[in-house]
Chains A and B, each alone.
Chain A
């Protein structure tokens, strides 16, 4: 206790010097630090009426308190600020953990609220993956000019097969087209009355997988070929699917916003109760000069812990469900002779989920603290 009289704030060297010099030149500068050093360290050997010298220096100390307060160095302030943050983080964490049942309930509610939109998002992602495979198989039908010979048509089909943006070309001759039409249209007999075959030969082109606008570009290119009478791309269903996806995405987003608000409210309510249960403490802290930030801090950390816990739990729920679903999905895919696998949360998505949980917890705490802390003032 003797050397805690902290001239160490002044640097390393003065300590020895102060001990050696009888006049204590630095005393006047920092009277605050003086008394302890004097009474217990320097004056101990002398043993002069101990209580008396204690008085005067303390008197000076008391008076200079306000002034020296203002001189607290900035880095010292920052380090004490950081220290309080660490302290409050661990203190609020231990409070959360000390009430395991209540905390688990809160975490579970938050986890469900977070997992719902997240799992819908995963579902959409997977649906998009599946349909993007379909996009690649969108067909184009090239109706060739009637006067085209069979040989030239096949020649054209071969030419098109060379292109990199075309996956496959199937040639349907006029005769084939007619027999197919007879078979499927139900007008079979009526067609017999026609003089000749009215149907053109067709090239069924499967473009290589690509975006819708790339396919449309390819379509226009093919349309302009001299041999081609008309080129058709059945985009309608692709577009329909695209719009359904967009709609679903927006619905997931809206749901996420709603459930995000629910998270805010749940955390806000939990924090409100925490504030209420620590009312006395808040009053006392305010009485002895705690700033609003100081009072707020433990509650904000509590919100963060709730949010983080909820986010982690949501992540766990989602991953367990994915494992649970992966078997049936694989079985289903194998029926369609596809090797499709469920895609879960990637690294970025997982981080996003957990971070948004944490941020929502923090925000919810802010809402509660802003609303309720102002009401608690010492009276």
Chain B
């Protein structure tokens, strides 16, 4: 699903975020990406989203070489990737429903279909009753679940999460993580960047540890 071939990323200011990284994540896998802040976790996710391009090496998503991808193709890549952000990235000028419906609207889905799929996604994260509310009225955990619903509403084969539990208490954090596990169980490849080591350890999935842009550990334990 995801393959990094000798990938380096150097920003314009000369900072090297990733150095000669080789990595492969299989279809249907669930893994955690960890490391101290500035280790390159976010850069790695951005390379997958093609928000950044590799300075060296190649990134493949489903066999597609992102460095050879034209800008006009990027939206179609992103439609196959669901993303969950630490700060939710919700729009407060519209309802929960409309927030979740956004990816479907972009895809040009049928309105009836949109209603059905949005409600299915909201049902999945347990927010079906709050679809008409403005997300600003929701708690942090609920907002994060709206973000997750939006990320999965168009059934992307790949789900990325950048510190999805960053601002949540342990109870909520593990609920969110279990939600991700459920998506993984139905075949979605899930990559979660997190520094919540104790939670990660309890989950028992593959853990990729980065340090200063280099892969220092890759295995099922920390």
Contact = CB atoms under 8 A, between A and B. Distances in A.
Given A4-B112, A77-B108, A287-B89, A378 B51 contact: yes
Contacts of A163: none
A27 to B, nearest CB: 16
Interface in B65-80: 72, 75-80
B185 to A, nearest CB: 5
Interface stretch (A57-65, A107-115, A116-124): A57-65
Contact of B110 (A1, A65, A80, A288): A80
B206 interface: no
Contacts of A349: none
B89 to A, nearest CB: 5
A347 to B, nearest CB: 38
A63 B113 contact: no
A81 B108 contact: yes
Interface string A152-179: 0000000000000000000000000000
A71 interface: no
Interface in B155-171: 155-157
A308 B158 CA distance: 44
B111 A288 contact: no
B33 interface: no
Contacts of B72: 291-292
Contacts of A288: 78-79, 83, 102-103, 106, 150
A128 to B, nearest CB: 52
A289 B106 CA distance: 7
Nearest to B76: A289
Interface residues of B, number: 39
A54 to B, nearest CB: 7
A6 B113 contact: yes
B187 A63 contact: yes
B153 to A, nearest CB: 9
Contacts of A351: none
Nearest to A379: B51
A288 B109 CA distance: 14
A285 to B, nearest CB: 7
A289 to B, nearest CB: 4
Nearest to A377: B51
Interface residues of A, number: 41
B199 interface: no
B187 A289 contact: no
B131 to A, nearest CB: 14
B186 A55 contact: yes
Contact of A284 (B75, B91, B110, B120): B91
Interface string B122-164: 0000000000000000000000000000100011110000000
A295 B89 CA distance: 17
A21 B137 CA distance: 48
A285 B106 contact: yes
Contacts of A36: 116, 120
Contacts of B210: none
Of B62, B111, B157, most buried by chain A (CB within 10 Å of CB) is B157
Contacts of B119: 1
Contacts of B120: 36
Interface string A1-34: 1001010000000000000000000000000100
A78 to B, nearest CB: 10
A62 B188 contact: yes
Contact of B79 (A1, A54, A69): A69
B27 interface: yes
Contacts of A291: 72, 75, 106
A287 B83 contact: yes
B105 interface: yes
B12 interface: no
Contacts of B102: 284-285, 288
A288 B152 CA distance: 11
B157 A287 contact: no
Nearest to A32: B155
Contacts of B150: 288
Contacts of B57: none
Interface string B87-121: 00101010000000011011111111100100110
B49 interface: yes
B186 A54 contact: yes
Given A60-B187, A80-B108, A287 B79 contact: no
A290 interface: yes
Nearest first, the 8 closest Cβ-Cβ pairs linking A and B are A59-B187, A80-B108, A289-B79, A289-B78, A58-B186, A288-B103, A291-B75, A289-B75
8 contacts: A62-B187, A69-B80, A80-B109, A84-B108, A280-B91, A288-B83, A288-B150, A294-B75
Interface of A: 1, 4, 6, 32, 36, 54-56, 58-63, 65-66, 69, 72, 76-77, 80-81, 83-84, 87, 280-281, 283-292, 294, 377-379
Given A63-B157, A377-B51, 8 more contacts: A4-B112, A55-B187, A62-B156, A284-B102, A288-B102, A289-B76, A289-B79, A290-B106
